[in-house]
A = this chain, B = another copy of it.
């Protein structure tokens, strides 16, 4: 397509919003390793997963072959509320940096969940409804995923039971209220409503909870309540599939205006945003049709890609979930309380892990004070207060643009702006007050986490 004038914000037409998700696994020669049962070490089969997940989502989880999967009409309809999301030409940022680089960002924060999480939440809620279920359970830490699933369940009139890490429940009451406004039942975890919750409360009186514990409670609640299933907002293949809508829209907008990215940058916690953003570009790369530099950015305090091991490990600290082969810091690794809660996960998507192991991606880590400096610089010139998670990508996009300033290269940089920071003002306050600290785990810290990685010989 010929290059035409690029508007500041590129909105696709409603009719241009993709009608199929793209499954990058179909183009991978080395498929991501399957989830395995921790007892038998055998790959999980459809039946093994049925008590936990919806049937159709299991099919998507296991499907490494189908390249394009139709987006159900009902999901497309919901997407209309907030999609297409804009691909923004960061002209104000370029000017502030004085860079010859062209910078674009795909902004996923213009919806009440405040992030890209809604893309998968609505799909997962839809399949639960279609299966005739009564409700779903999940856990939430920072609260973006819990909010997204609450909104999605409200739309399909499904019950939504959210186990929210107790310390977040108490310290982030506003996120909790958004979920309640959407009709969700929000329980601080560990609670006395599950066996595992009672056990943890008995063993650790006064504990403020953890994501691992909340996952265990949510899974128990789903499997012990008739008509319920458990849903998860990242890491899984199915989630990356749904999130491919981000990348597909980005690619279409690029094609429409003749933009060819040299570098694509995304923050990475469990991998939902990065996996979605890069999907069609990675597809071209895997098929040898085009080349792009693809950079994952993770917090220096939780460096699964850059300092972790590629091995089978439990997906949760409570060891109730299956094991996945991924870059991991060990399921016992406890990252410092950095402010990007969505990136504070010991592991990483199996799909992205395989792509990284095979050399299709790079990864870098960033320290949080430098991330917030980038966030503030961005907010002041581009007018959007970014989420701490997204700001990791901003940091590296700025760094790359500044390199171009030195070399004079007119590179095109695209990064994912996954969400807004309206519920992260405590973190901004710490930064504004000069009280934010960095934390980089020592080799000894990492060794402790690595010790928890089971040696399954796979």
Contacts and interface: CB of A to CB of B under 8 A. Distances in A.
Interface string A415-432: 000001011011011011
A385 B9 contact: no
Nearest to A11: B11
A174 to B, nearest CB: 4
A382 B425 contact: no
A383 B422 contact: no
B383 A177 contact: no
A1 interface: no
A180 interface: yes
Specify how many copies of this chain sit in the oligomer: 2
B422 A422 contact: yes
A59 interface: no
Given A380-B154, A380-B183, A429-B173, A385 B112 contact: yes
Given A11-B11, A92-B81, A110-B110, A173 B425 contact: yes
A139 B155 CA distance: 39
A383 B151 contact: yes
Interface in A373-426: 376, 379-385, 420, 422-423, 425-426
Interface of A: 7-9, 11, 13-14, 78, 80-82, 92, 110-112, 114, 151, 154-155, 173-174, 177-178, 180-183, 376, 379-385, 420, 422-423, 425-426, 428-429, 431-432
15 contacts: A7-B14, A8-B80, A9-B14, A82-B383, A112-B379, A173-B425, A173-B429, A174-B422, A174-B425, A177-B432, A178-B425, A180-B429, A181-B428, A183-B380, A422-B422
The 3 closest A-B pairs by CB, nearest first: A174-B425, A81-B383, A177-B425
